[in-house]
Amino acid sequence: MSFNIAIDGPAGAGKSTIAKRVSKELGFIYVDTGAMYRAIAVYMLENGVDIHDDASVKAACGQIRITLGYEDGEQQVYLNERNVTGLLRTEEVSRTASVTSANPAVRETLLDLQREMAAKENVLMDGRDIGTQVLPNAQLKIYLTASVQTRAKRRYLEEQEKGSGCTYEEIRRDIEERDARDMSRKIAPLKKAEDAILLDSSEMTIDEVVEEIKKHYREVCQ
């Protein structure tokens, strides 16, 4: 039987960074569901799809195939056989994905694939609704969060390294808006699963968060 770990939380909480580390150290397959949604957002942007028109989004989903692979030990995301990993972390793609991820057609496109992966392998998935919707029976669920200020600072530093012109205030407002949108959407809103362990990383290092999750994993396995 496969073992599944679900890590949920708001934008900028460090889910992907933590999930990659934990999955590597435990020997699990890491499934970045957010990256899969972002790949769909890339398609919508590149093809001028009206993301607020359900019919247009549904039609576009019929033209999309998302797959995962590895190159030099790093997970890559392919959109219709094209590696789009380098396009996934822009603010424009992030904003678009926040809207399209709530669309039923988009969710249906990815849900079966994600569950199929989890049924076959020991996987660690991170996202917004893994523990509540995608893998409700996951043996370990983590809700990873941090203060808005901490998350905005982290994202600001990332954007600075990329040479982006985004200001801290712009990023903070964007995170607040995304939190409100993700938590209030009708389909699979962002929320902590009842049986999830809450981890606030505001005052924790990456190493400390990783070790805390590994500790909970060992406890479940005992």
Residue 4 has pLDDT above 90, yes or no: yes
- Separation of alpha carbons 75 and 147, rounded Å: 28
Sheet holding 140-145, edge to edge: 29-32, 123-127, 4-8, 140-145, 197-200
In the block, tokens 């005992």 appear at 222
Sheet holding 74-79, edge to edge: 66-71, 74-79, 82-83
| Token duo for residue 179 | 């939190």
Q: Give the CA dihedral 188, 194, 195, 197, nearest 10 degrees.
A: 90
- Separation of alpha carbons 124 and 195, rounded Å: 17
Q: Which of 52-61, 95-104, 133-142, 199-208 has the lowest mean pLDDT?
A: 95-104
pLDDT band at 164 (very low <50, low <70, confident <90, very high): confident
Q: pTM for the complete prediction?
A: 0.78
pLDDT band at 89 (very low <50, low <70, confident <90, very high): confident
CB-CB contact of 56 with 49 (8 Å): yes
185's CB contacts (< 8 A; 6+ apart) are 102
127 class by beta-carbon count within 10 Å (0-12 exposed, 13-18 middle, 19+ buried): buried
pLDDT at 222: 83
If one counts every other C-beta atom within 10 angstroms of the C-beta of residue 64, the result is 18
Q: Pick the closest to residue 7 from 204, 192, 222, 207 (CA basis).
A: 192
